[in-house]
Structure 1
Amino acid sequence: MKRWNDLMLKTKMFISFSVVSLFIVGITCVIFYFTNTGDIKNQTLSLSKIIAKQFSEMIDLYMQNIEELSLSISIDPAIQGSLFDFYKTADPIEKEAIGYKLNPVLFNFSYPKTYVQSISIYTLDGHWYYYSKLVNPKLTDSLSFDEVRRIAGELNGRPFLLLPTHEEPSNGEPTGNTVSFIRKITKIPTQTIIGLASINVNVNAFKMVLANTKASEIDNQMHVLIVNDEGQVIFENGAGQSGRPRSVFETAVFSRSKTNGELLWKNVPYLYTIETSSYTGWSTVILIPKHVLLLKQKRIQDIVVIVGLVTMLLIAAVSYMLSHQITLPLNKLMRKMSRVELGDFNQRMEYAGRNEIGRLSRMYNHMLDSISRLIHEVYESKLAEKSAQLSALHAQINPHFLYNTLNIMKSISRLRGVEEVAEISESLAGLFQYSMKNLHHPVTLGEEIDHILNYFNIQQHRFGNRLELRCEIPEGLRQTPILKLTLQPLIENAVNHGLRRVKAGGCITIRAWLQNETLIATVSDNGEGIAETELAKLRYDLDASLSHHPVRDATQGIGLLNIHQRIQLFYGKPYGLELSSKPGEGTKVALTIPLAAAPHNQRGEEAAL
């Protein structure tokens, strides 16, 4: 399993597709092979059964015609009269003369029938007359006196007998096997048997019947046999044809319940079908060599193998192409991710498809865009934080020196009785002492207000009764944590910008309240306000504050942007400053921070720890 997991995806897909397809194609080919070979065998047996039935019926028709011919011979007046004359005379010469009288009669009966080879008339004492179409024939299987008496006895219960015979001409040329159709001749009207009529039929005539019943595809392979009930082969196409000794067929096959199957004949395996005629008692046997089926099975096997191999090659090619199309963009994605791992975030996938690979490529590109954006934001945030810290450090350079100087001035002023100078020095020293503390540690809202009172106490010595400070802060909110130097710069901006031209009645109001776990503090003045263009610019700068370095000038202290940046750096994006102003009506700045929550950067540091 470990080795399998270590394989490449392309190799896994190729092996999986190949194994599954091989299994399916193999099972399909095996089923197809055995099904078709079984169908071929069944079809062959069915066809041979039809041929056997047709051939047997045609032979029956031939025999029926011969039976009609034999009936005509047996009731012919000339033959009846000749037999009467035979039994009346004892003269051998007259008996021979009777044969000359019968010859033209028998000729007339046999001439129209091409399949009739000879006609014989037997008397009950063994004398016989015959006519043969052969020149100088020699009858080798003629009936003896005992056979005539035996056959005459058998015909008392049967209409006719069929006996296989064999004729040869005097010159030794074979003429073929024949069948004797034997019928009794009875005296009219007493029906007393007076002789036998034997019609010899050349079995080669059966080939004409076979030519009309054979199927073309097995024409040269099929063996057709006509076998009597003693197993003697009456007719056989192919081996055992005319002039050859008759074959003997295994009669045990006739006792089987099945009319078709397989057998071994002359050491050759065959498929056989048997059709027995109720008219003649003969059995028509169709033999088809098994090698014919084996050849067909071999062709089917070759076709199945070729189709299987072609299918396997096609499936292998398709699986390789499909796996290549899948793994090619994946390999490309892996190479680009390796470059990204080394720090190159400009690697993008160019895949325009709408399938899974296309979606994966787009997600990969979006992920890199998000990572680049986050890296840029974090970089800018850290840069802004460092800039804000530098601004605060610059603001702390002078207070260290001034704080000590102001303490000396306060002591000298009290020693000499200049109380007003001592009070200003004390307030100014408190301002510097407050500003020198760490900006990262929050203070309470009350501490920030005390710092504002120190600052405003100095400004009142400067402006006198022209300015007024109002603090509307509930006592319960004075312990609320807040970042240092977030409200005092707002008071300073209101004094230096909003109320700088006010001669009397200037008022700055500080309010604070809670809303949805959020502290909202506002600093508003009734000064000259901010022009629309300037107000729009300030709002834009506040919205994009983390993308800019904080601006600090001598008149604005650490500035609105610096305060807004610090709040968002410590508490997150949703918080910060909001400005509202109308020219001639004053300005209001709203500060929003989460209630009783650690600053954002401290939470991040604690999580890191």
Structure 2
Amino acid sequence: MLRNWYGRLGLATKQFIFLFSVTLVFFLVLAWTNLSEAERLFKEQVTADTELLLARTNQYIDASLDNIENIVLLLASRSELLDASREEEAIGVLNHYASYNNSMARTLYLIRADGKVYANNQVVYEIVGNPHLQRLYDEAEDNYGALNVSEPYDSPISGHTLAYTMPITGRDKQVLGVVVAELDLERLTTRIAPMIYQSFVLLSSEGRVINRLVPGDDLLPYQPRVYPPELETSFAERLSGLKLGVSSLDSGERPLLIVKSNKNRLGWSLIAFIEEARLYRNLETLYSNYRTASTAWIGILLVSAYLISRSFTRPIRRLVDKMDRVHDVQVIPRLSVTRGDEIGRLARSYNAMLERIQQLLVETRRAEARKKEYELKMLRSQIAPHFLYNTLACISSLAKQRKIEEVRETIRSLVGLLSLSFDKHGEYVSLAEELEGIAMYMHIQQVRYGPQYTYTLDVEEALLPLPVLKLSLQPLVENALLHGIVPQGGGCIQIRGRLERGMVRIYVRDDGCGMPRRQAAAMLGTGEEAEAKQRFTGIGLANVHERIRIHYGSAYGLRIGSRPGVGTSIRLQFPVLPAADPGAGSPKLEQN
């Protein structure tokens, strides 16, 4: 169906559709490829920037933790502060380190082996206490003197925190006490939050959240009715199993793009969350630019394809219009050739073809004229011998009868008739001259057959000057005489001429024996059958009929009507031609 519809379209429409479709598909594929590549590059750039931010944030966290480690190491090296007599000094030192500007320490403790605890906020500690210190003391003591970092927990003094612990040993490696430094995780979160513009989570080596979560962050799933906010357990477990780098994760309501950093020296992992919808919203400007560019490009493509199709097909359409308007090949407008491409060559070939056609038409008209002239000469040559044969036969018969005077009169009529027929140039004579020739012919026949063979003339005076074809009536009269009257031993031939319906009509009637209708129709035919049936006059009538049709057209000629025992009537019809000098040649026939 589509193929048939496309096949019925014009050349310009086909070319327009083809150019537009191919270019549009190419543009859409190219635009889609570029847009996908731009989207991929933008996504890679965002994730690369996030990874860089996470790496720098990890470096900052490590640097901040270095301060805590230094404080813990310094306090662990001052075992003298555990003396009971130096309690005030110990509390002062703890206050000094805790108040240090860059310190992330929230609360510092010195725990003696006997259970005595010194804190930088000694009064608060004595009032509130801290139930986690004994556990921290035991973990530090079991760690063989190394620096230990606990898992996050909630302290009554420091809030959500984790602790650095390290045992204080004497000279004999005996544990005298433990240094405990609880981190200010809220300060840590506050400091690293501006460095990462996405939501983030800092996980411990065991997968627990270290940083303080923001209550207003609706990107991550939180446990309901829990404060401070805590991640859903299943979501937190899934975070622990993520691989390093970029990955995708569904939070339950929206897909998230997750960037996980390498672990720092404490085994912590920093994870940043990017909402994919927000990422694509950032790409909306790019999409908008592509839509605008696509709309403009499609508009330009439409106009360009139309102009290209028009530039190629307009000369062809002009050529087709010129060819469709060609009705008269004698007057054909030439195409102006202004192009040097194949279309210009086509126009030049068309002009050359028209020139050849006009030359062939001229040659054809000349050949037809010569052929017509040869045919007329042949027809005349057929009529003249036939007439002479019959006339000479008549003279021979008179001579045998020794009718010298009749022979003399017949020869005189014959000479006049031949002079009338052959001494004048051209195909036409006046109707009066043609009737004069009929009178001479009938005189010859009356001398031969006797006075019982008569003829009458009834021709309008206005028709006598009109030109007629030479020897167009004589064969009709001859046919009426020899085949109508002679077989029955006498009769009358009537010749009547009238102007009817703007045409000249001459009727030759006889009251002879007549003939059947089929035989009358065959007398105007051609071929061997007609020639055999009408050995003499049949050929003459057919030739007269053909001569009239050649000169005047197919609407004119002879018409024969006959009835056996009644007679025969032949009508000769030709148009009214202006009177002219018969010796000047053929008069001109006005063609409608």
TM-score scaled by structure 1? 0.53
Change (3 A) 1:362 1:266: closer
- Equivalent residue, structure 1, for 2:179: 197
- Looking at structure 1, the residues matched to 88 and 109 of structure 2 have their Cα atoms a distance apart, in angstroms, of 13
Kindly indicate whether the alpha-carbon contact (under 8 Å) linking 2:72 and 2:179 is maintained by their aligned counterparts in 1.
yes
Q: SS of the residue aligned with 1:235?
A: coil
Give 1:328's aligned residue: 314
Q: Match of 1:122?
A: 111
Identify which of 276, 280, 286 aligns with 1:290: 276
Counterparts of 1:40-59 in structure 2, within 5 Å, are 40-59=42-61
Stretches of structure 1 that go unaligned for 5 or more consecutive residues are: 87-93, 170-174, 409-609
The alignment partner of 1:196 has SS state of strand
* Structure 1 position 232 matched with structure 2 position 208: yes
Q: Per-residue deviation at 1:352?
A: 0.4
The answer to whether the 8 A contact 2:113-2:177 is kept is yes
Q: Deviations 1:1-29 (Å, cap 9, x if unpaired)?
A: 33322212222222223333343333334
In the superposition, relative to structure 1, how do residues 137 and 310 fare at CA in structure 2: closer, same or farther (>3 Å)? Answer: farther
CA 165–145 in structure 1, closer or farther in 2 if over 3 Å, else same? closer
Tell me the SS of whatever aligns to 2:325: helix
Write the distance in 2 (CA, Å) between the matches of 1:145 and 1:236: 22
Q: Does 1:106 find its partner at 2:115?
A: no
Higher relative contact order (CA 8 A, sep 6+): 1
How has the CA–CA distance of structure 1 residues 391 and 344 changed in structure 2, closer, same or farther, with 3 Å as cutoff? closer
Alignment of 1:454-603 (within 5 A): none
Give the counterpart of 2:141 among 153, 167, 180. Answer: 153
- The one-letter code sitting in structure 2 at the alignment partner of 1:275 is S
How far the C-alpha of 1:238 sits from its partner, in A, is 4.8
- Alignment-derived partner of residue 511 in structure 1: none
Q: Secondary structure at the match of 1:121?
A: strand
Q: What letter matches 1:115 in structure 2?
A: S
AA in 1 matched with 2:100 = P
Residues 1:137 and 1:377: Cα distance change in structure 2 (over 3 Å): farther
Structure 2 SS opposite 1:234: coil
In 1, Cα distance between the equivalents of 2:363 and 2:110?
A: 130
Instruction: Give 3-state SS (helix, strand or coil) of 1:250's partner.
Output: helix
Q: Whole-Å Cα distance in 2 between the matches of residues 127 and 364 of structure 1?
A: 119
Q: C-alpha offsets along residues 283-324 of structure 1, whole Å, 9 cap, x if unaligned?
A: 111111122223245444444444433333322221112222
Q: Secondary structure at the match of 1:281?
A: coil
Alignment partner, residue 427 of structure 1: none
Partner of 1:82: 81
Q: Distance in 1 between matches of 2:290 and 2:238?
A: 39
Pairing 1:21–2:33 present: no
Amino acid at match of 2:180: S
Give the Cα separation in 2 of the matches to 1:9 and 1:141. Answer: 96
Q: Is the 8 A contact 2:334 2:351 kept in 1?
A: yes
Counterpart position of 1:73 = 75
Deviations 1:335-371 (A, max 9, x none): 1101224536322222401122222122212221222
CA distance in 1, matches of 2:125, 2:16: 82
Q: Does 1:251 align with 2:237?
A: yes
Query: 1:33-68 CA distances to partner (integer Å, 9 max, x unpaired)?
Result: 444444444443333333323222321222123212
Structure 2 residue matching 1:233: 3-state secondary structure: coil
1:61 to 36, 41, 63: 63
Distance of aligned partners of 1:129 and 1:137 in 2 relative to their CA distance in 1, 3 Å threshold: closer
Q: 1:363 to 1:252 in 2, by over 3 A?
A: same
Q: 1:330 to 1:237 in 2, by over 3 A?
A: farther
Q: Is the 8 A contact 1:230 1:251 kept in 2?
A: no
Residue 386 of structure 1, CA deviation = 6.4
Contact 1:272 1:288 in 2 (8 A): yes
- 1:82 is aligned with what amino acid? L
Residue 492 (structure 1) aligns with: none
Provide Cα deviations, 1:211-253, integer angstroms capped at 9, x if missing partner: 7855xxxx3xx11221113433222575479x96252461343
- Per the alignment, residue 518 of structure 1 pairs with none
CA pair 100-343 structure 1, distance change in 2 beyond 3 A: same
SS of 1:331's equivalent in the other structure is helix
What's the offset of the Cα at 1:389? 8.9
Instruction: Look up the match of 1:596.
Output: none
**Partners of 1:21 and 1:312 within 8 A in 2:** no
CA distance in 2, matches of 1:14, 1:312: 13
Q: Percent identity over the alignment? A: 21
- Once residues 295 and 138 of structure 1 are traced to their aligned partners in structure 2, the CA distance between those partners, rounded to angstroms, is 54
Query: Hey, what's the Cα distance between the residues in 1 that align with 2:269 and 2:129?
Result: 23
Partner of 1:313: 299
Match of 1:164? 152
Q: Is 2:207–2:240's contact at 8 Å kept on the other side of the alignment?
A: no
- The aligned residue for residue 544 of structure 1 is none
Which residue of 2 is the match for residue 589 of structure 1? none
- What amino acid is aligned across from residue 263 of structure 1 in structure 2? L
Q: Which secondary structure does the structure 2 equivalent of 1:310 belong to?
A: helix
AA aligned to 2:62 is D
Change (3 A) 1:4 1:344: farther
- Structure 1 range deviating more: 309-318 or 138-147: 138-147
| Partners of 1:150 and 1:202 in 2: CA distance | 22
User: What's the secondary structure of 1:347's corresponding residue?
Assistant: coil
* Aligned partner (choices 178, 181, 185) of residue 168 of structure 2: 185
Amino acid at match of 1:180: A
**Closer, same or farther in 2 for the Cα pair 1:58/1:193, shift >3 Å?**
same
Flag the 1:143–1:186 CA change in 2: closer, same or farther, 3 A. Answer: farther
In structure 1, give the amino acid aligned to 2:49. L
Given the alignment, which residue of 1, 4, 24 partners 1:2?
A: 4
Q: Is the 8 A contact 1:122 1:128 kept in 2?
A: yes
Q: Decide whether the 8 Å contact of 1:226 with 1:233 is kept in 2.
A: yes
Q: For 1:199 and 1:128, locate their aligned partners in 2 and report how far apart those are by CA, in whole Å.
A: 13
> Which amino acid counterpart does residue 182 of structure 1 have in structure 2?
T
Amino acid of the structure 2 residue aligned with 1:231:
G
Residue 344 of structure 2 aligns with which residue? 358
Determine the C-alpha separation between the residues in 2 that align with 1:24 and 1:300: 20
Q: Return the match for 1:343 from 305, 308, 329.
A: 329
Q: CA RMSD in A?
A: 4.2
Aligned pairs (5 A) from 1:286-435: 286-343=272-329, 345-383=331-369
Over 3 Å counting, the alpha-carbon distance change for 1:74 and 1:287 in structure 2 is same
Secondary structure of the 2:324 match is helix
Query: What one-letter code is carried by the residue in structure 2 that aligns with 1:195?
Result: G
Contact 1:182 1:197 in 2 (8 A): yes
Counterpart CA distance in 1 for 2:335 and 2:146 is 101
State the alpha-carbon separation in 2 of the partners of residues 310 and 82 from structure 1.
80
What amino acid is aligned across from residue 184 of structure 1 in structure 2? P
Residues 77 and 168 in structure 2, CA contact (< 8 A), matched pair in contact too? yes
The normalised TM-score by structure 2 is 0.54
CA distance in 2, matches of 1:184, 1:24: 73
The answer to whether the 8 Å contact 2:64/2:102 transfers is no
Distance in 1, Cα, partners of 2:264 & 2:23: 56
Aligned-pair distance for 1:331? 1.9
Give the aligned residue type for 1:199. A
Query: What CA distance in whole angstroms lies between the structure 1 residues aligned with 2:331 and 2:364?
Result: 16
